[in-house]
Structure 1
Amino acid sequence: MEFIRITNIADPLFAAMHKLMGEVFPPEEVLAFDLWKEPLEDPGIRVFVAVHEGEVVGTTEYRYYPDFNVAMTDFTIVGRPGLGIGPFLWRERQRDLDALAYSFGQKLDGMFAEIYDPYKAGDHDFGGLMTMNPYVRREVLSHMGYKRIDMAYVHPSWQNDGEAVEELDLGFLPYNGRDEVDAALVAKFLRRYYAVLPNKPGAWEEMVASLDQKDKVALLPL
C-alpha cells in the first residue's frame, strides 16, 4: 500500500478521493470540489491517500500548528475492510507529524479531532461502510487515547451557509495523558481553523467566546 500526498486538484487521485468523501460523509461535511484548489496547494495542509493496487481505498487530511505544537486531524476514511487501512494511515500520519514537530525543535503535544456522536449521527450510514460507523470510529479513537473536550460543541457548516452542525464532539489526544487542556489553546485553535469560513453561526461565536472566560477545560472519556 502507498501513502501518497495530493497537492493539485488536477491529480486523478484527488477526483477519486473526493468521490469517496461524497459517498461517506454528509454534504455539509464535504468542501465542494473546486474549492479544494487552494487547500491542496497550502503547504500547511497535508492531504494523503492510501492507494492499493491503483485504487484509492482510504484518505486522511491533517495539519500541524507549530506555534501551538498541536495537530488537527481533519478527516480519515477507511474505504475497505480487511486491508489494514486504518492502522496504515495512522502510522504514516504519525510518522509525518513527528517529523514535522521535530523540524521545529519540538515533540508533538497533542492532536484535535472532530468526532461524531453516534447518538446524534446514528441516522447517517456513512456510505454503508461499517469501518466508518460512528460507534466503531468512536471506540477506535477512544482506544487511541482521544478524549472529549467538556463543551457543547457546534461547528460551522462547510457549505458556508452559516448553519451550525451539532453532530460532533471536539476531541483531543493528549500525548502526556493529562485530563484537561488550556481553554485559550482551544479557542485560538478554533478561530484559526475556521477562519476560512466567513459565515459562522451565532452559536459557534458564543461557544468560542465562552472559552475566553475559562482557564482550563476538562478532557472526558469518549
Structure 2
Amino acid sequence: MDYRRITGIEDPLFRQMHQLMQNVFPTEEVLEFDLWKEPLEDPGIRVFVAVHDGKVVGATEYRYYEDFNVAMTDFTIIGAAGLGIGPFLARKRLEDLQSWAANKGNQLSGMFAEIYDPYRVEHYEFGGIKPMDPYVRREVLSHLGYQRLDFPYVHPSWNNDGEAVEGLDLCFLPMADQNELPADLIVNFLTRYYTVLSNKPKAWLDMIEDLRAKETVALLPF
C-alpha cells in the first residue's frame, strides 16, 4: 500500500478520494469538489490517500499549527475492510506530523480530532463500511490514546449555511501524560480552524464564549 499526497484537484486520485468521501460522510461534512483547490495547495494542510492496486482505499487530511504546537486530524476514511488501512494511515500520519514538528524545532504536544457520538446520533451508516461505524471508530480512537474534552461540542456546517452540526465530541491525543487542556488553547485552535467558514451558527459562538470563561477543560475517557 502506498501513502500518496494530493496537492491539486486535477490529480486523478483526488477525484477517487472525493467520491469516497461522498460515499462515506453525510452531505454537510463534504466540501464541494472545486472548493478543494485552495486547501490542497495550502502548504499547511496535508491530504494523503492510501492506494492499493491503483485504487484509493483510504484517505486522511491533517494540519499542524506551529504556534500552538498541536495538530488536527480533519478526517480519516477507511474504504474497505481487511486491508489494515486504519493502522497504516494512523502510523504514516503520526510519523509525518512528528517530522513536521521537529523541522519547526518542536516536539508535537498532541492532536485534536472530532468524533461522532453514536449514543446520541445513530443514523450515520458511513456508506455501510463497517470500519467506519461510529462505535468502532470511537473504540479505535480510545485505544490510540484519544480522550474526550469535557464540554458540549458543536461545529459549523461545512456548507457554510450557518447551521450547527451536533452529535460529535472534540477529542485530543496528548503526547504526554495530562488530564486537562488550557481552555484558551481550545478557543484559539477552534477560532483558527474555522476561520474559512464565514457564517458561524449562534450555538458555536455561544460555545466559544463559554470556553473563554474557563481556565481549563478536562480530558475524559470515551
Tell me the residue number matched to 1:197: 197
TM-score (norm 1): 0.99
2:173 aligned counterpart, secondary structure: strand
- Per-residue CA deviations over 1:51-100 (Å, capped at 9, x if unaligned) read 00000000000000010000000000011111111111011101100100
- Per-residue CA deviations over 1:156-195 (Å, capped at 9, x if unaligned) read 0000000000021000111112110000000000000000
Alignment pair present for 1:80 and 2:84: no
Q: CA RMSD in A?
A: 0.6
Matched residues in 1 for 2:125 and 2:154: separation? Answer: 21
- Per-residue CA deviations over 1:181-215 (Å, capped at 9, x if unaligned) read 00000000000000000001001001011111111
Matched residues in 2 for 1:7 and 1:55: separation? Answer: 17
- What are the residue-to-residue correspondences of 1:1-222 with 2, within 5 Å? 1-222=1-222
Matched residues in 2 for 1:5 and 1:167: separation? Answer: 30
Paired amino acid for 1:74: D
TM-score (norm 2): 0.99
Q: Which ranges of structure 2 fall in alignment gaps of 5 or more residues?
A: none
Percent identity (aligned): 66
Paired residues, number: 222
Paired amino acid for 1:69: N
Paired amino acid for 2:158: W
- Per-residue CA deviations over 1:102-138 (Å, capped at 9, x if unaligned) read 0011110000000110122311110000010000000
Paired amino acid for 1:168: L
Q: Which ranges of structure 1 fall in alignment gaps of 5 or more residues?
A: none
Contact 1:157/1:164 (<8 A) preserved: yes
Contact 1:9/1:36 (<8 A) preserved: yes
Instruction: State the 4+ residue runs in structure 1 displaced beyond 6 angstroms.
Output: none
Contact 1:121/1:134 (<8 A) preserved: no
Matched residues in 2 for 1:212 and 1:164: separation? Answer: 19
C-alpha displacement at 1:31, in angstroms?
Answer: 0.5
